Amino acid sequence: MPTLCHFDIPVDNVDRAKQFYKDVFGWNMKKLNSRVDSKIELWMCETEDESGRKGITGGMMKRDSLPSVTNYILVNSVDEYISKKNVPVVKLHCIK
C-alpha cells in the first residue's frame, strides 16, 4: 500500500518555526540548497517515533515559495494510480 513519504510546511518566520518544531517534536532542521531554484530557502528534517524508529522526512520553506502544506506519497507507478479512479487531479508533480 502506498504511504506518505515526505511533507513540506510553509512558514512565515523560519527561526521561530525551527525553534517551535524542535521544542515540540524534537526535529532538527538542516538547511539545504534547492535544486530547483537557488533563491528558495529550504530546511529538512528526519522524523522518528517515540521509540526512536525512523519516520518520514519533512521540510519547510518560506510561505512565498510554498503557499500550502504539501504531502508526498510514494508509489511504484504514477500512471497506475492515476488510472484507478476517474477523479480530476488539481495538481500533480511527478518525480521519476
* pLDDT tens-digit series, residues 19-49: 999 999 999 999 998 787 888 889 999 998 8
Q: Which range has the worst mean pLDDT, 23-27, 73-77, 85-89?
A: 85-89
Give pTM, 2 decimals.
Answer: 0.75
The grid coordinates listed for 35 are 535544486
pLDDT of residue 43: 93
Comparing 94 with 58, the larger pLDDT belongs to 58
d(CA 52, CA 49): 5
Task: Using DSSP bridges, classify how beta strands 41-48 and 54-62 pair: parallel, antiparallel or unpaired.
Answer: antiparallel
Q: Which of 83, 82, 84 is nearest to 92 (CA)?
A: 82
Q: What is the mean pLDDT of the chain?
A: 84
Residue 96 clears pLDDT 60, i.e. is over it: no
